[in-house]
Amino acid sequence: MRTSAVLLILAGTASLLAQSSPKYRVTYTYTLGGDGSWDYVIPDPPNHRLFIARQNRVMVVDEDKGTLLGEITGIQGAHGTAIAQATGHGFATQGADQSVAMFDLKTFKVIGRIPASEDADAILYDSASNRVFTLNGDAHSSTVIDPRAGTLITNIPLGGKPENGVSAGDGKVYANLTDTSEVVEIDAKTATISRRWFTAPCKQPVPMAIDTAHHRLFSGCRSGVMAVSDYQAGKVVATLPIGTGVDGAGFDPASGDAFASNADGTLTVIHQDSPDQYHVVENVATPQASRNMGLDPTNHRVFVVSGKFGPAPAGGRGRGPVLPGSFSLMVIERDPSAR
C-alpha cells in the first residue's frame, strides 16, 4: 500500500512538473537602440527580416543576426508595414499625415506616397486581389491601394474603428473593430463589406491572427481574453484568458500554438487541441511594454520588442520616456525538449 501511494505521489509530481515546465523561452536579445517609440513588428519570411515601425522611420532588421540592415526614413507617424513581394514594393502607414509611403523592397528608398485617411494604422497585403488595405482608426475606414502603380483605388467605410486585420488568401480580408467589438469581413475584389459579427464576450479586439487551414481567426481583446472565431460561420467558438494590454497576436500552424503579446510583460501561449477546443499552455515572461510581436512561420520564432523607461511623469500616470539606446529585440522559441 505504501509503495503504491509513493508511486502515485511521484506520478502526480511528475505530471505537475511536466505541466509547469516552460515550453517557450527567450533565446536571444539584441539591442537595436535608436530613439522614438515603436509599433508593429512585421516579418518578411522569405528574406528572414523584420520591419519595425519607429515613429519617424521603419527599421529593417536581420532575423538571424539581430543587425540593422537599413531604414525607411521620412515616415511621419510610422505604424504598420505591408510587403507585396509580387511587385517588389513595401508600404508603410504614416499616421501623422494620413498617407502611405511606398518603398522599394531592395533599396528601402521611398518611391511614392498615397493618400489614406485619418489615423492610418495597420496595413496588409492581399495576394488574391493583389491589393493593399490600410486600417484607418479614427476615420473608421480602409484605404485600398494598387501595389504596382502605387495609387489609391477607393476608401471603404467600416462602421467602426479598425485596429488590426489579416488576409485569408481567398479574396477575403478581416479586421477587428475595437469600439464596436466586432469582426468585419471585406470582399477584397469588390472593396465592399460582406459580413460582420460580434466578438462577445471579448471587448475591444485589437490584434488579429489567422489559421487558414481551419478557417479560424484569433482576436486579442483588451478585456483580457482571446476570442477565436469560425470565419466561415461568422461566430465566436472559444475564448481564452490572456495578459493585459494585448497589442500583438500570431498563429503558428506547425505547432498549433497561438500567441498574444501583452503590455503586462507576458506572452500568452494558447494551444489548438481542435478547431473549437483550446487551452492556455503558459505565460512567458517578457519585459514590460513588450506588447508588439511578429511571428515567422518558416522558423517558428516569435519576435517581441521593448525598451527601458525613465521615471513616470508627475502624478505617476503613464510610462516615463524611453531611455536612449535601450530599444531591444527578443527572440522567443520553443524549447526543443518540450512536448
The pLDDT of residue 10 is: 43
Residue 277 lies in a domain: yes
Residue 6 lies in a domain: no
The pLDDT of residue 13 is: 41
User: pLDDT tens for residues 31-52?
Assistant: 999 988 899 999 999 999 999 9
Residue 169 lies in a domain: yes
Residue 78 lies in a domain: yes
Residue 18 lies in a domain: no
Residue 8 lies in a domain: no
User: pLDDT tens for residues 87-113?
Assistant: 999 999 999 999 999 999 999 999 999
Here the cell at position 193 is 463589406
Q: How far is 283 from 272, CA to CA, in rounded Å?
A: 16
What are the C-alpha distances in Å from 119 to residues 100, 105, 134, 138, 234?
11, 24, 10, 5, 27
Residue 320 lies in a domain: yes
The pLDDT of residue 336 is: 77
The reply to whether omega before 275 is within 30° of 0 (cis) is no
Q: How far is 190 from 175, CA to CA, in rounded Å?
A: 16
CB atoms under 10 Å from CB of 48, counted, come to 16
User: pLDDT tens for residues 187-230?
Assistant: 999 999 999 999 999 999 999 999 999 999 999 999 999 999 99
Residue 1 lies in a domain: no
Domain boundaries, position 129: 24-334
Considering the entire predicted model, what is its pTM?
A: 0.91
CATH number at residue 192: 2.130.10.10
Total structural domains within the chain: 1
For range 7-25, the mean pLDDT: 54
* Residue 314, pLDDT above cutoff 90: no
